[in-house]
Chain A
Amino acid sequence: MKLGFSAAEEEFRAECADWLQGQMAGEFKDIKGITTLTAKAERRKEWEQQLAAHKWSCIGWPEKWGGRNATLAQQVIFAEEYARAGVPGRVNHIGIELAGPTILAFGTEEQKQRFLPGIAAGQTIFCQGFSEPGAGSDLASVRTKGRLENGEWVVNGQKIWTSLAHISDWIFVVTRTEEGSKGPKGLSFLMMDVKQPGIEIRGIKQINGDAEFNETFFTDARCPEDSMIGAVGQGWQIAMGLLAFERGVSTLGQQMAFRNELDEIIAAAKANGQAKNPLIRQRIAKAEIGLRLMRYGALRMLSNTDHSKIDGAALTYKIQWATWRRGLGELAMDVLGQAGELAHGSEYEWDVLPNLFLFSRSDTIYGGTNQIQRNLIAERGLGMPREPRGDL
């Protein structure tokens, strides 16, 4: 068991920090510190390309595909320095962290050549077409249909909560390709060009006034037959494999963003005197402890190479961070008091902490609600009987 980093790794850290901080002080100064997912999307696409030009876009990927074959420790270090430097979140998070690794793991050589260079170069922005109006927590009840017609997949149906679809180039879609099938059987995983007449995107305004989510409508949308990852009917396995990548190294970058949020709360509490309130002190200490434990939980999960046993740290990670962050939003408002309820101008736009308070209500919902997480933990982690399926 070892927590420290080697001298060579610390050197790598300095190199990362140096480059990232240089960028945020120079050419990309205008995007430093952005915390929403939608602000300055065009500039952030340029940032993706800047990362790629300096080979920082997907360092964990093989060199052949634009990565650096970076070790786990190096990926941890880069993710931490990325957020520490105040660099905004990746607009191509889904391409780099989910689509790319899925193609690497399950795609054909031809598919790798078709998609990976564009993702690595920051040219192809991806979004995820999983949820539907009738398939939220019960993801396997997807109804969007795909049928093969003259060498093309033709897709009809609707996806929802499609983050960043409006600025994306490609979408991966879980479709029902076997007529009359039910549940996880008969699903397939397709890669589709978003910019085609058969796909229509409508923004969904959220409680914080932002519109990062979308409804995505498919009306005879098309893609070539060889755009399927895996075989016909393997969509569920591919989708589950993809979700496992969600617990990768990027979680550490996310934690550094949380660090910045907690630091803002600490600064606000010091400024307005709440830092002397013993109850607030206890809650800030709890938040601090929770954040530290999140880091060490992630390091345990990432260090674990024995995949034969249930990894408790990995299984509990989502609900842990989501619940922690929702609590952080509540703590922020308790520290700010009524001042937190006032926008600066006439627009319904929010500073980091009030926005955190509002946005974090989604953390315990998307990617599997807390209730679904508890089912998964109890069933997979503790061997409790599965929830019976109804037949409505």
Chain B
Amino acid sequence: MEFVFTEEQAMIAETVKGFFAEHATSERTRKAMAADGIDRDLWSAFCAELGLAGIGIAEELGGAGLGMVELAIVAEAAGSQVAALPLLGQAMAAQAIAAGGSAAQQGEWLSKLVSGEAIAVCAGAEALNVADGKLSGSASFVTHGGVADLFVLGSGDSAWLVRADAPGVSVTAHTTMDQTRPMATVTLAGAAGEALADGAAALAAARQAGWVIAAAEGLGVAQASLERTVAYAKERVQFGRPIGSFQAYKHRLADMMIEIEQARSAVYWAACAVDEQSDEATIALHSAKSFAADTAFMCAGNMIQLHGGIGFTWEHDAHLYFKRARALQSMLGAGDWHREQVATMILGEAA
């Protein structure tokens, strides 16, 4: 038992933190927000130069090896800069293909996803009808769906690969509150789909990775919200003193830190439990996703309040964090749903 980063993990953390701080600047993120929600230079540096999209995918499958802890480290750093990247969908899709794809499917897609040559996203399909390998139905709230080349769509225990350019696939991109992760609706009308060899395994792996990433991003959002507010509290003077010297103010900062420390325990407990295939992995994932997303929202909301008027402006970055935090709360199962899963584990089914 040693619940701290190894030297290698600490090094990865430092590297990715530096990478996002330098490249995922507010200016570049805002450019991506005004376009399709991806900073393509950032994404290609992320995939090709640093090889970060391969984290959590076995080396023999063309990935970089390592596990959920390292993936969480990367997602935390991305979240702390609200980077405009298709990281979440890509990782979920890659995990699905690695865990449930045939050798041919893995061979065809994983190296493209790891290199960034193709963008993929994983989503749940509604009212999916399958006839002769042709799929009809739709998928809603597909993050970065408007720019994806490949969809991994889940339905029950089956998962399907659908190319965005296949006949019968139409994608409607939506103006989305969080412009760093715009959503789309994907409609299938007799579109060609290829079933993954083991759909259940694919979707389970995707879900696990999705919850870890969402939780870790939430942690990054929360920590950055606190750090930026702390900096402001030191420089902003009212009533002849720095506003951070008022207890009404600094106690709210303390409350943020108290939640963040728990969120940090939650994220790395969950990531580590998945890596170690611990019995606790399921409860850890539900805990981490619900707790860290709520922490992100609490901290980002406080960032707006504690900045006063400037925090409400478009110009200030507070709203980027606030909107990302809100999106994290709703996606991949809302907090109440995750907590109900925990309740079921300890209390049994509700009536």
Task: Give chain A's interface residues, CB within 8 Å of chain B.
Answer: 1-5, 9, 72-73, 76, 266, 269-270, 275-276, 278, 281-282, 284-286, 288-290, 292-294, 296-297, 299-300, 302-305, 312-313, 315-316, 319-320, 371, 373-375, 377-379, 381-385, 387
Are the CB atoms of A296 and B269 closer together than 8 Å? yes
Are the CB atoms of A3 and B265 closer together than 8 Å? no
B245 within 8 A of A: yes
Are the CB atoms of B250 and A1 closer together than 8 Å? no
Are the CB atoms of A293 and B250 closer together than 8 Å? no
For B233, the closest partner residue in chain A by CB is: A384
Are the CB atoms of A269 and B347 closer together than 8 Å? yes
Contact of B265 among A284, A286, A296 (CB under 8 A): A296
Cβ of A281: which chain B residues have Cβ within 8 Å of it? 339-340, 343, 347, 350
Most buried by A among B3, B276, B351: B3
Cβ of B266: which chain A residues have Cβ within 8 Å of it? 289, 293, 296
Are the CB atoms of B273 and A384 closer together than 8 Å? no
Are the CB atoms of B265 and A297 closer together than 8 Å? yes
Are the CB atoms of A282 and B343 closer together than 8 Å? yes
Looking at B133-141, B256-264, B314-322, B325-333, the stretch in contact with chain A turns out to be B256-264
Cβ of A278: which chain B residues have Cβ within 8 Å of it? 340, 350
Contact of A4 among B226, B241, B278 (CB under 8 A): B278
A1-B2, A2-B2, A300-B3 are known contacts. Are A288 and B261 too (CB-CB below 8 A)?
A: no
Are the CB atoms of B1 and A374 closer together than 8 Å? no
B336 within 8 A of A: yes
For B226, the closest partner residue in chain A by CB is: A382
Contact of B4 among A293, A303, A379 (CB under 8 A): A303
Distance of A44 from chain B, by nearest CB (Å): 30
Q: Complex formed: what's the CA distance from A4 to B280 in Å?
A: 11
A3-B278, A4-B1, A316-B261 are known contacts. Are A293 and B347 too (CB-CB below 8 A)?
A: no
Q: Complex formed: what's the CA distance from A78 to B340 in Å?
A: 32
Counting from the closest, the 5 A-B pairs by CB-CB distance are A378-B250, A285-B339, A385-B245, A374-B254, A296-B265
Q: Complex formed: what's the CA distance from A275 to B346 in Å?
A: 10
Q: Complex formed: what's the CA distance from A284 to B341 in Å?
A: 12
Contact of A275 among B234, B283, B284, B347 (CB under 8 A): B347
Given A289-B266, A316-B257, A320-B262; 7 other pairs, CB 8 A cutoff? A266-B347, A299-B3, A300-B4, A312-B264, A315-B257, A316-B262, A382-B257
Are the CB atoms of A292 and B272 closer together than 8 Å? no
Most buried by B among A3, A302, A320: A3
**B270-305 near A? 1/0 per residue, CB < 8 Å:** 001100101010011011001100000000000000
Distance of B65 from chain A, by nearest CB (Å): 15
Contact of A292 among B283, B348, B350 (CB under 8 A): B283
Are the CB atoms of A319 and B265 closer together than 8 Å? no
A-B contact pairs, 5 of them (CB 8 A): A281-B340, A320-B258, A382-B254, A382-B257, A384-B233
Are the CB atoms of B1 and A9 closer together than 8 Å? yes
Are the CB atoms of B272 and A3 closer together than 8 Å? yes
Are the CB atoms of B254 and A373 closer together than 8 Å? yes
A3-B3, A282-B339, A299-B3 are known contacts. Are A381 and B257 too (CB-CB below 8 A)?
A: yes
* Chain B, interface residues (CB within 8 Å), range: 35 or more
Q: Complex formed: what's the CA distance from A2 to B9 in Å?
A: 12
Contact of A1 among B260, B272, B291 (CB under 8 A): B272
Are the CB atoms of A312 and B261 closer together than 8 Å? yes
Q: Complex formed: what's the CA distance from A40 to B341 in Å?
A: 41
**B207-237 near A? 1/0 per residue, CB < 8 Å:** 0000000000000000000100010011000
A3-B272, A4-B1, A284-B346 are known contacts. Are A293 and B258 too (CB-CB below 8 A)?
A: no
Q: Complex formed: what's the CA distance from A375 to B261 in Å?
A: 16
For B351, the closest partner residue in chain A by CB is: A276
A284-B347, A288-B342, A378-B253 are known contacts. Are A293 and B2 too (CB-CB below 8 A)?
A: no
For A306, the closest partner residue in chain B by CB is: B4
Q: Complex formed: what's the CA distance from A153 to B286 in Å?
A: 58
Are the CB atoms of A289 and B6 closer together than 8 Å? no
For B241, the closest partner residue in chain A by CB is: A385
**B100-118 near A? 1/0 per residue, CB < 8 Å:** 0000000000000000000
Cβ of A1: which chain B residues have Cβ within 8 Å of it? 2-6, 9, 69, 268, 272
A1-B268, A3-B273, A384-B250 are known contacts. Are A289 and B3 too (CB-CB below 8 A)?
A: no
Distance of A322 from chain B, by nearest CB (Å): 11
Distance of B172 from chain A, by nearest CB (Å): 35
Are the CB atoms of B268 and A375 closer together than 8 Å? no
B238 within 8 A of A: no
Cβ of A269: which chain B residues have Cβ within 8 Å of it? 347
For A76, the closest partner residue in chain B by CB is: B1
B255 within 8 A of A: yes
For A71, the closest partner residue in chain B by CB is: B1
Distance of B265 from chain A, by nearest CB (Å): 4
Cβ of B260: which chain A residues have Cβ within 8 Å of it? 312
Are the CB atoms of B254 and A377 closer together than 8 Å? yes
Q: Complex formed: what's the CA distance from A302 to B284 in Å?
A: 20
Q: Complex formed: what's the CA distance from A336 to B155 in Å?
A: 42
Contact of A286 among B1, B257, B283, B339 (CB under 8 A): B339
Distance of B11 from chain A, by nearest CB (Å): 13
Q: Complex formed: what's the CA distance from A285 to B336 in Å?
A: 10
Are the CB atoms of A266 and B291 closer together than 8 Å? no
Are the CB atoms of B69 and A374 closer together than 8 Å? no
Distance of A131 from chain B, by nearest CB (Å): 22
Are the CB atoms of B346 and A266 closer together than 8 Å? yes
Q: Complex formed: what's the CA distance from A304 to B265 in Å?
A: 13
B244 within 8 A of A: yes
Are the CB atoms of B347 and A382 closer together than 8 Å? no
Contact of B258 among A300, A377, A384 (CB under 8 A): A377
